[in-house]
Amino acid sequence: MPIKDELKLLKKERDARDRSRTVRDRWQKIDRDGENLTTKEKLERLISLTRQKRGPAVKSVPAPIEPGHREPVQLFENPYTLGARYGQVMISLGLEIPGKALAKLSHDAAFEGLSLDSALFLDLETTGLAGGTGTLPFLVGMGYYRDGRFNVAQYFLSEMGDEGRMLRELGQFFREMDFKSVVTYNGKAFDMPLLETRFALQRERFPLAGLPHLDFLFSARHLWKHKVESCRLFHLAREIVRADRDEDIPGAEIPIRYFQYIRSGDFSLIEPILYHNQEDILSLLGVVIEGALLFDRGRRPSQDEADAMDLVGIGRLCESAGDLERSVELFEKALEGDLSYEVSVQVRTKLGRHFKKNRAWDKAVPLWQGAAGGDAFSSCRELAMYYEHREKNYEEAIRAAEEGLASAMGVSPQYEQDFRKRLERLKDKVRRRQEKRGK
């Protein structure tokens, strides 16, 4: 069964249990309060109540109810077989990602001797997004490969006063599992510092400190920012992984739901958060696998399997990792394919700067000469400088500057002023050269 169907079935089962509890609780209240009612009248009142439509759960705070017994810390676990798919991605592919690819994606050479079979995928749900000592992680979502499965485990804090207990249990879990690395999405800025702070406040050692950390947000931006509307994890899961994922719950709603739960004890407020967090863990696994597969295609001598936009993404990733030679090869190959105008301008600009820096004029000049549109301003300026200072060909420099001025007039005052000054200087050089020859 596909993971999406398993998640929907899990949600349906939880909804059914919730409805059953609701009907039971309402019947007990009607039975207790309606001593003078007949059984038929009680049933009619129950039917009337259960047919009422629910209003938005977050916009109206539920009235306090009698608190029942709550387990201070709860653990939810959902295993997925290696043959299961999330979107178009087979879960087992995560185990085939080589350490070299992980090292490039993370910019950390420590990953070269590792694989995802010992990695912890981590995602927190918290009482706020500001961070600091006032922000409490009430749900710690974790994904990891073990015993031929990919497991999603979630520690949920039912009572805020028992945070210390949850962190002690988490610490023991981390030590027992002996994870060798951590994978997050924006975890370097948020999840990991926050969790480390909470451990420190409880005077507990943070077992994940110092582990190699792949924060895939940065890799995702290099690979796909030029290609997709948004690099939010939810959006990438839909666009890149092709997961049938819905925008199940807005992030701003999550802290509100948790505080409502603390006040009311209504666990139905929390179940959508558990589902959302589980989807985030699976989405993170999916985009890491897709990113690694894309990087692997870019390492091959022939990049026929990757389209031009993907080649740009791999080139940007290689560039950020310091592999400039490979990035240049990929950018040049991408220009032969179908790129959007904006991306084509960006790639030409990158290549032009690289070839200029390395004095590869035989490659830089054709790039500048083939520029058009908004790219023409800088390219004409580069050509004018090249002919003036490298070739001492002032006539060609003037032609390039005049072309640049024509394209910049009324569009870019900065370039227009630059070309006017450049033309004045070039024409003065031509005049002085002619005067010198006349003597």
Query: What residue numbers bound the domain in which 347 lies?
Result: 302-438
CATH number at residue 433: 1.25.40.10
Provide the pLDDT for residue 57: 31
The whole-number pLDDT of residue 61 equals 34
Beta-sheet strand order (sheet of 213-215): 73-81, 149-157, 137-146, 119-126, 181-184, 213-215
> 78 and 42 share a domain?
no
Q: 403 and 265 share a domain?
A: no
Question: Are 125 and 41 contained in the same domain?
Answer: no
User: Domain for residue 362, yes or no?
Assistant: yes
Instruction: List CB contacts of 71: < 8 A, sequence separation 6 or more.
Output: 158
Residue at a domain's end among 295, 320, 352: 295
Pair (291, 164) in one structural domain:
yes
Same domain, 349 and 402: yes
Asked if residue 117 and residue 253 are part of one domain, the reply reads yes
Residue bearing tokens 């899990």: 10
Residues 389 and 288 in one domain: no
**How many separate domains does the chain show?**
3
Give the residue ranges of DSSP H helices in 112-244: 163-177, 192-201, 216-224, 233-239
Residue 62 has what pLDDT? 36
Same domain, 285 and 310: no
Our CA angle for 173, 176, 177, nearest 5°, is: 85
Residues 123 and 168 in one domain: yes
Whether residue 250 is contained in a domain is answered as yes
HSE-CB for 358 with a 13 A CA cutoff: 12
Position 61 in a domain: no
Is 203 found in the same domain as 91?
yes
Residue 311 in any domain: the answer is: yes
Q: What is the pLDDT of residue 166?
A: 97
Domain boundary among 261, 295, 329: 295
| Helices 99-106 + 308-320 axis angle, to 10 | 80
373 and 282 in a single domain? The answer is no
| Tens-digit pLDDT string for the chain (439 aa) | 555 555 555 555 555 455 545 555 665 566 566 655 554 454 445 455 544 433 333 333 333 334 456 789 999 999 999 999 999 999 999 999 999 999 999 999 999 999 999 999 999 999 986 666 678 999 999 999 999 999 999 999 999 999 999 999 999 999 999 999 999 999 999 999 999 999 999 999 999 999 999 999 999 999 999 999 999 999 999 999 999 887 778 888 999 999 999 999 999 999 999 999 999 999 999 999 999 999 887 665 454 567 899 999 999 999 998 889 999 999 999 999 999 988 998 899 899 999 999 999 999 999 898 876 656 788 999 999 999 999 999 999 999 999 989 888 888 899 899 999 999 999 999 999 888 887 5
* φ, ψ of residue 188 in degrees (nearest 5): -70, -30
Token output for 217: 């947000």
| pLDDT score recorded for residue 182 | 98
| Domain end call among 262, 295, 328 | 295
Same domain, 159 and 276: yes
94 located within any domain: yes
Supply the pLDDT for residue 64.
39
Q: Which residues of 398-422 are buried (b: 16+ CB within 10 A; e: fewer)?
A: bbbbbbbbebbeeebeebbebbeeb
